[in-house]
Chain A
Amino acid sequence: MTSPMHHASDSALVEQMMAGDENALSALYDRYSGMLFAMLVRILKDTSAAEEVLQDLFLQLWRNAARFDASRGSLPAWLVVIGRNRAISRLRGRERHEVQEDETFSMEAVAGPGNIEDEAWRDQMRERLKKAMADLPGEQREAVELAYFEGMTQTEIAARTKTPLGTVKSRVRAAMQSLKQVFDDGRTRQSGRS
């Protein structure tokens, strides 16, 4: 059985958090912790470390709810960006301030891809993305995964894969073009439903 709060919009829950309602945080945690935790485990390859980052992420959300403007960005997209930054920083021992800069930018600028707030949409996209990733040529998939899940730069990917830099760029570009098609299809389907 779910409470009415579990049907509230992200922006309504953020407003309630600003008023000090911890149940709103609880509802947002229930809504997005699974998606975020899966990403964090994939990056950190360590369940305990992923749980620590996840807890810190939602604690930051609680403390900084007032700074989030739902009209200018998507909460889950922001959580994804910040969570990924933190995990990669931890993975690679980067300086914290590097993360802070990204957090400032992303709070304002990350729009939601499609309807990422909707769990059913996320499930659909997860399946489509899984297939699309599996369909990518191995080198393209490797390039994207090294960048996204291991935080490597193009130069580092080139060195790791012993591939010319231009080739790495081409692979990433081609892979992202394929994924763009998945995203565009998902958006079209969502428009059709609404």
Chain B
Amino acid sequence: MEEHVNPGDPDLYALGALDGEEKQAFEAHVRTCAACAEELAAARQRVALLALAAPPAAPSPAVKQRLMQHVRAEKTTVAVPVREMRRFSFLIPALAACTVFFAVLAGWLWRMDLRDTHRIAFLQRRLANAEERSQEVASTAAETDRLLGVPGTINVALAQQPGQPAGQAGVLYNQRLGTVLYAGQLLPAPAGKSYQLWLVPAQGAPVSLGVFSAKEARVAMTAHVSPGIAAKAFAVTIEPQGGMPQPTGPKVLVGVPG
């Protein structure tokens, strides 16, 4: 007859109170005994319930405000090509190191009481830029990780079309959620024109995902469409400034899901 664990051990384990050899023996047994694993699951439920035994308390409204500010900051449009986002993650420590370096340098110059205030201002601007860039890269990486973690997300590379301005971009698309994450690098749009990103569905007219001028060297953005649209292709076209309801201009970048 199979020997099971001591009757109180599931509760002790779920509480985190079991230790030493008893803990190891319990874990080993539960891995092979369905009945005791079931006991443990029930004990975990009871233990979770103990949270309700704490006296009521309410957090300050400022906690939620800070949380939502943080979340909005993470959602901010960012500027790194999707295809390279993961590779850029190595830049985070480098940017952090740059930030520290400029901070120390700026502090040293300040202490030296140098009269060259312009130089200090320059370093402070560099410091601010480095910090901003570091936050952008971290934010992009978080958004990318989030979408890549969702089953069904596809990665589509958008290629430069013949005769069009140089550029490259990538799209992450989750059909079930209708979420699109675009990031790319293009030359600035011609005067009076904008770039416009499109989802070309397997059936029906192209759906606009957003307009950008590409004043910056790199652009990234998140867009949402109705869930469930099967994508035949993604494309970037040049349109009159502000964009058009349907594509009218030349295709600059095109990508087809594999």
Residues of A within 8 A of B (CB): 15, 18-20, 22, 25-26, 29, 33-39, 41-42, 47, 50-51, 54-55, 58-59, 62-67, 74, 76-77, 80-81, 83-84, 88, 106, 109-114, 116, 122, 125-126, 129-130, 133, 144, 147-149, 151-155, 157, 169-170, 172-173, 176, 179-180, 183
| Contact stretch, chosen from B38-46, B128-136, B154-162, B208-216 | B38-46
Which residues between 31 and 73 of chain B lie within 8 Å of chain A, taking CB atoms? 41, 43-60, 63-64, 66-68, 70-72
Q: Which of the residues A20, A77, A153, A183 comes within 8 Å of B16, measured between beta carbons?
A: A153
| CA–CA, A179 and B42, complex, Å | 12
| CA–CA, A125 and B56, complex, Å | 13
Contact (A39, B51) CB under 8 Å given A19-B177, A22-B75, A54-B59: yes
A188 to chain B, nearest CB (A): 15
| CA–CA, A16 and B41, complex, Å | 28
| CA–CA, A113 and B7, complex, Å | 20
Per CB-CB distance, the 9 closest pairs between chain A and chain B, nearest first, are A173-B8, A42-B54, A113-B45, A153-B19, A176-B11, A66-B149, A39-B51, A147-B17, A147-B15
Number of interface residues of B (CB under 8 A): 52
Which residues between 179 and 197 of chain B lie within 8 Å of chain A, taking CB atoms? 179
Please tell me if B224 contacts chain A, counting CB pairs below 8 Å. Answer: yes
Residues of A within 8 A of B51 (CB): 35-36, 38-39, 80, 83-84
* A155:B19 contact, CB within 8 angstroms: yes
| CA–CA, A151 and B14, complex, Å | 11
Residues of A within 8 A of B59 (CB): 33-34, 37, 50-51, 54
* B71:A62 contact, CB within 8 angstroms: yes
Please tell me if B258 contacts chain A, counting CB pairs below 8 Å. Answer: no
Contact (A179, B50) CB under 8 Å given A147-B16, A154-B17: yes
Please tell me if B222 contacts chain A, counting CB pairs below 8 Å. Answer: yes
* B15:A172 contact, CB within 8 angstroms: yes
| CA–CA, A33 and B70, complex, Å | 17
Residues of B within 8 A of A (CB): 6-8, 11-12, 15-20, 41, 43-60, 63-64, 66-68, 70-72, 74-75, 142, 145-147, 149-150, 177-179, 222, 224, 227
* A77:B45 contact, CB within 8 angstroms: yes
A80 to chain B, nearest CB (A): 5
| CA–CA, A116 and B45, complex, Å | 10
Given contacts A19-B178, A35-B52, A59-B67, 16 further A-B contacts (CB under 8 A): A18-B177, A42-B54, A47-B60, A51-B63, A58-B67, A62-B74, A65-B146, A84-B51, A110-B44, A113-B45, A114-B45, A126-B53, A129-B52, A149-B54, A176-B11, A179-B46
* A183:B64 contact, CB within 8 angstroms: no
Residues of B within 8 A of A133 (CB): 53
Contact (A113, B46) CB under 8 Å given A29-B64, A122-B52: yes
* B49:A55 contact, CB within 8 angstroms: no
* B48:A81 contact, CB within 8 angstroms: yes
| CA–CA, A110 and B14, complex, Å | 11
Residues of B within 8 A of A19 (CB): 177-179, 224, 227
Residues of A within 8 A of B55 (CB): 38, 41-42
| CA–CA, A112 and B150, complex, Å | 23
Interface centre among B6, B15, B177, B178 (most CB of A within 10 A): B15
Interchain residue pairs with CB less than 8 A apart (14): A19-B227, A34-B56, A35-B51, A51-B63, A55-B70, A81-B44, A111-B41, A112-B48, A147-B12, A153-B17, A154-B19, A155-B19, A170-B8, A183-B45
Residues of A within 8 A of B8 (CB): 169-170, 172-173, 176
B13 to chain A, nearest CB (A): 10
| CA–CA, A51 and B178, complex, Å | 34
Residues of A within 8 A of B60 (CB): 47, 51
| CA–CA, A47 and B58, complex, Å | 10
* B222:A116 contact, CB within 8 angstroms: no
